[in-house]
Amino acid sequence: MNTDLKHSWGKWPDKLHELPDQVKSIAKIREIENFTIEREQGYMDVVSSSDNKSTYRTTLENCECRDFLITKKKEAPCKHMYKLAYECGFRNFDVERYDIYKLVEKKCKALNSKQLKELAVILDKKFGKEIQ
Task: Note the residues at the interface with Zn ion (CB under 5 A).
Answer: 63, 65, 68, 78, 80
Nearer to Zn ion by Cβ, of 60 and 63: the residue is 63
Q: How far is the CB of 107 from Zn ion (least distance, A)?
A: 27
Q: How far is the CB of 112 from Zn ion (least distance, A)?
A: 27
Nearer to Zn ion by Cβ, of 68 and 90: the residue is 68
Q: How far is the CB of 83 from Zn ion (least distance, A)?
A: 9
Read off the DSSP letter of residue 69. Answer: I
Q: CA–CA distance from 35 to each of 3, 109, 120 (Å)?
A: 23, 31, 30
Distance, in Å, from the CA atom of 7 to the CA atom of 113, rounded to the nearest integer, reads 32
